[in-house]
């Protein structure tokens, strides 16, 4: 899928017109319209704005991966390795990859090896969150 098709798909999934989106992100509407037709490429700043707005990776925006939130790719875990995990294991990995305050956040080579320990920690954390409610 071309990046323009991905941009349009994400925008329509949010139920936004081009004008609504560009007003929110302070992007020129006619320039953005050319992004959706893949006739103009966005700059890095615009890619970052769009990725943050849609909560997806830049790799997803560019069509380099089918995983919207490809945090695992950014952490050095291949799509193949990630896709072989169970849904629960993916949930655990994603949980740890989004935690800035954890000491192993920047040690991706250990993530798959430590998955079992992460699962135990994650279950304890989830119980604590439930008890807070």
Write the pLDDT tens digit of every residue in 7-27.
999 999 999 999 999 999 999
In order along its 133 residues, the chain shows pLDDT tens digits of 889 999 999 999 999 999 999 999 999 999 999 999 999 999 989 998 998 888 787 878 888 766 666 566 666 677 677 778 787 887 777 777 666 555 554 454 556 666 776 777 788 888 888 888 7
- What's the whole-model pTM score? 0.54
The CA distances from residue 32 to 7, 8, 10, 49, 65, in Å, are 9, 10, 13, 12, 22
Q: Which CATH superfamily is domain 3-61 in?
A: lambda repressor-like DNA-binding domains (1.10.260.40)
CATH 1.10.260.40 residue spans of the chain: 3-61
**Which residues does 25 contact at the CB level (< 8 Å), separation at least 6?**
46, 49, 50, 53
């Amino acid at each position: 899928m071309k990046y323009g098709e991905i941009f349009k798909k994400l925008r329509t999934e949010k139920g936004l017109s081009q004008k609504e989106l560009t007003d929110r992100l302070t992007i020129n509407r006619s320039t953005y319209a050319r992004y959706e037709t893949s006739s103009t490429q966005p700059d890095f700043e615009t890619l970052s704005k769009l990725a943050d707005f849609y909560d997806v990776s830049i790799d997803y925006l560019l069509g380099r991966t089918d995983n919207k939130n490809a945090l695992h790719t950014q952490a050095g875990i291949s799509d193949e390795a990630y896709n072989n995990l169970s849904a629960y294991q993916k949930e655990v990995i994603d949980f740890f990859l989004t935690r800035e305050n954890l000491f192993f956040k920047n040690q991706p080579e250990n993530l798959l090896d430590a998955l079992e320990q992460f699962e135990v920690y994650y279950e304890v954390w989830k119980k604590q969150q439930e008890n807070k409610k």
